Structure 1
């Protein structure tokens, strides 16, 4: 009876049922298998995410440096130096990931954890004798140095600090970690714990934080045991099917040819969307049952498709990958990357594209446990040092928990810019939402793009977003990327101009010019010229 019913389903309906069954199997196994403390007398394996970064660091140290996580805070007020050091030490004591280094045993990387009581090295520098302009220069130089100085994964430590004294009541604290031991969610955990511990220690009180029941190495060992057999195969099958035949390179129009080896040098352009447009995006999402991220993915993919001419493309997106409550309070590298395929060969309207992106995103979330590197292995794309595999463009939402504002005794805290970001991809658009705004930050590879090109790209994206908000029944290919003024500027006229030649076709115009000036230079390249 069930077989007859399934045979009457379309391929798409059958695939949806299979996907639902696989995701339920994944959740059932995950629920039945609890994370237990790993045997510390045995070699501790890396998580799949850690192993990916370890191999990348071995292959290309420059790539490893692109995965640093710098944080800089201005501390205004009376700083309790002893409480600050004690706070940092306690955070590192609480989280084994921050005391971990990575060594190779017979060619296999293993985690080695330093004992509790390892003090965080804090380099200090007194800049109080300098004027404000000189201090700003030194702070910028030290920030760039902290963000770029390489970590040695085999010796550690993989967290370091620097304290700059600007005045009696003014300091800048810099803390840098390697991504292999931390992620964006972890920053929120550390900020929350830092605030609670400093407040307690500055007032002579004991540690107020509850003990952790498990540590990151326990999760890594559990992940290795759980992600195998039917669970792993179901996820492999999904990604193999979903990404089969997808293009492995998004061929965007760049200002310069792609270098043979990716250098990870980048810059960023920010854009704050006006409140009426933000409200329009929210209303559009509400009408179609999409999240802000899903709507953003539809708009971003539409712009990339229009600029590249490709109707089938893959966009990467990070996910926190903390689906179990016991790992939420941990510092560690949990984040995974999803390859989201968006197809527009049929020239969909806005509503159809939103529905398609919603289905794609939900299915990917249901199969997010498989590490991206294993997705790459099953797809076997042609590897290149010039670009990342599977996708070269990212989209992310900055919505990880931040622990709220820090309120420390006698101190006011504010963020300090940490310098130019590394460009792990050609383009990486991140969105930060607040009740009254939406800020888009587009990090780009400076080897490929000039800043004016990126500014025009954001102009086009903003114009397309406004067009989709205004009319969700139109074809995506017809949504304008240029304002009327920009269109006139690009086309180079504001009123019809009489042609200098009485011809209508390009080749005919070329022939007419050649007949009039046969000896004029037509083409030049380096030291060669053709008439």
Structure 2
């Protein structure tokens, strides 16, 4: 995990949680609990992680010790300002890097908002902790709090093994025949899947992912949670399987991709001896599912149940080892294998009291995100609390809010009628539907028999100096866009493009992409979008299958589409030639009945069609 964190995009590998207690308490008692758990119970054979070149060494040098605050944070602020200030401090704790050489890798701090209002914040590095460790943490503090408060010794039984014992066992297992068989299983499971998740983004993807996410909370009522449980029972499935099925449907509705891979965590505590040991046991599974939009949702749940159970029976291969074995090409702009993540944690049995101290969960945002899209839930006795997170490099917060509201609406549709086809499940909330209706309503007298380029030219004539495109801090007027598209159209005509010619567009999002679309249409052709993010083999198939006569691209993308030089027009190399072309509209006999574009879907078998 330490090595993986050094390789983008894994910059954030923390777990965090906060508990709020609304009564007067002794801070020293809480510190004693943390010291005992860290230094006596789970820290007898601790690990510190050092690096020597590329070698990671494990040493018995004490790591699980909590930071000792001299006193709790205490603000003399108006009540309305206390929680926002607390959230600022929590965020600072979650983004502060850990020191692997000197430790600690566990931070705990108590914040006092009022004499009887305290928040305990815990931030832990995944090297020593996983989600199940938090459940153990809450459970053991519940047992220790009352004992230490009354001056009694720990009532906890000694642990039969340590995390070091598990690490030694796993290291030996990673060299065995069983591991090779397990890797072969996952290789077969993922064979042929080389298309990354492609959600409609707000901006161009950077070459290197920052691992920063934008999160919006999602609360699900007890009534809806019970209804989703019932949906699962009808398919002999769990709530986890039902929610994961909804997530697959959600991703299909946004991306149009039917062959999807979603990452999900598993506890990986197959041995009873490690059930009570805090440490990093969790593993990530890459669960692949093909979505049939014509199937009933209940049938999708049954399919997901089968594939999940199969994955859980092969959960011991560490994900980072699988990535190495699959020889996944390194791409710093995306997470390897899967770009969507789903998690459900059942915390209904988590104690709400530590001795005589009642506490409640305090929401904590996790700033880091390795994937493009992540949805997680924690089930409690009163329903579920969760979040929807998107990659901040390519999405805006408003998009995250829309995704959150759409996922809630989709869950409502699933709970209401799981016998519906996946394609018929409602996802757009009423408010957004009304907004779409306002934008899409036809205003004025528009001749819909005319080709789209003619409608654009009419708008450009009315607003020559009006802003048509804004991108990356640059803008282009209608007159400039129309002129550039006309020059490109003349150049395309000289290259043999004419009525019905199919022209590939392998371009990043930019002004040139829009000008190229219009230029192809003005020349009489039909454009074929070729996303540079797609695998080269997929782009090559689309070019050949569509009978593309020419590809418009940039020289930096030549290896992506693989077309020969005589069938490629690189805009960055053709600037001088384009500048010599007329800026006036070319003569064309194109009508509104001629093809404008060609689109490919993923195909139910994974082959574009």
Q: TM-score range by the shorter chain?
A: 0.7 to 0.9
Q: Which residue of 1 is the match for residue 489 of structure 2? A: none
Q: Which residue of 1 is the match for residue 132 of structure 2? A: 185
1:195-210 matched pairs, under 5 angstroms: 195-210=142-157
- The reply to whether residue 56 of structure 1 matches residue 4 of structure 2 is yes
Higher RCO (Cα < 8 Å, 6 or more apart): 1
Q: Which residue of 1 is the match for residue 394 of structure 2? A: 448
From 21, 29, 53, the equivalent of 1:83 is: 29
From 71, 74, 94, the equivalent of 1:127 is: 74
Structure 1 residues 96-131: Cα deviation after superposition (integer angstroms, max 9, x where no partner): 389421123574212222369977533434526555
TM-score w.r.t. the length of structure 1 is 0.80
Contact 2:141 2:354 in 1 (8 A): no
SS across alignment from 1:143 = helix
Work out the CA distance in 2 between the residues paired with 1:360 and 1:169: 49
SS across alignment from 1:339 = strand
1:82-101 matched pairs, under 5 angstroms: 82-92=28-38, 93-96=40-43, 99-101=46-48
Work out the CA distance in 2 between the residues paired with 1:487 and 1:170: 43
Q: Which residue of 1 is the match for residue 591 of structure 2? A: none
Contact 2:16 2:366 in 1 (8 A): no
Work out the CA distance in 2 between the residues paired with 1:58 and 1:83: 37
Work out the CA distance in 1 between the residues paired with 2:414 and 2:115: 53
The offset of 1:326, in angstroms, is 0.7
Q: Give the alignment's Cα RMSD to 1 decimal.
A: 3.2
Q: Which residue of 1 is the match for residue 141 of structure 2? A: 194
Aligned length, in residue pairs: 475
- The reply to whether residue 145 of structure 1 matches residue 92 of structure 2 is yes
From 327, 344, 348, the equivalent of 2:291 is: 344
State which structure, 1 or 2, has the greater radius of gyration over its C-alpha atoms. 2
Quickly say closer, same or farther: Cα 1:166–1:108, change in 2 above 3 A: same
Contact 2:467 2:475 in 1 (8 A): no
Contact 2:348 2:381 in 1 (8 A): no
Work out the CA distance in 1 between the residues paired with 2:419 and 2:115: 61
From 240, 249, 257, the equivalent of 1:293 is: 240
Q: Which residue of 1 is the match for residue 170 of structure 2? A: 223
Q: Which residue of 1 is the match for residue 108 of structure 2? A: 161
Quickly say closer, same or farther: Cα 1:506–1:300, change in 2 above 3 A: farther
Quickly say closer, same or farther: Cα 1:276–1:172, change in 2 above 3 A: closer
1:96-111 matched pairs, under 5 angstroms: 96=43, 99-104=46-51, 107-111=54-58
Quickly say closer, same or farther: Cα 1:307–1:77, change in 2 above 3 A: closer
Work out the CA distance in 1 between the residues paired with 2:17 and 2:430: 42
Q: Which residue of 1 is the match for residue 448 of structure 2? A: 503
From 215, 235, 242, the equivalent of 1:268 is: 215
Contact 1:73 1:416 in 2 (8 A): yes
Work out the CA distance in 2 between the residues paired with 1:176 and 1:277: 31
TM-score w.r.t. the length of structure 2 is 0.70
Contact 1:74 1:172 in 2 (8 A): yes
SS across alignment from 2:353 = coil
SS across alignment from 2:127 = helix
SS across alignment from 2:368 = coil
> Which consecutive residues of structure 2, in runs of 5 or more, have no partner in the other structure?
483-609
Structure 1 residues 371-391: Cα deviation after superposition (integer angstroms, max 9, x where no partner): 111221222222222221111
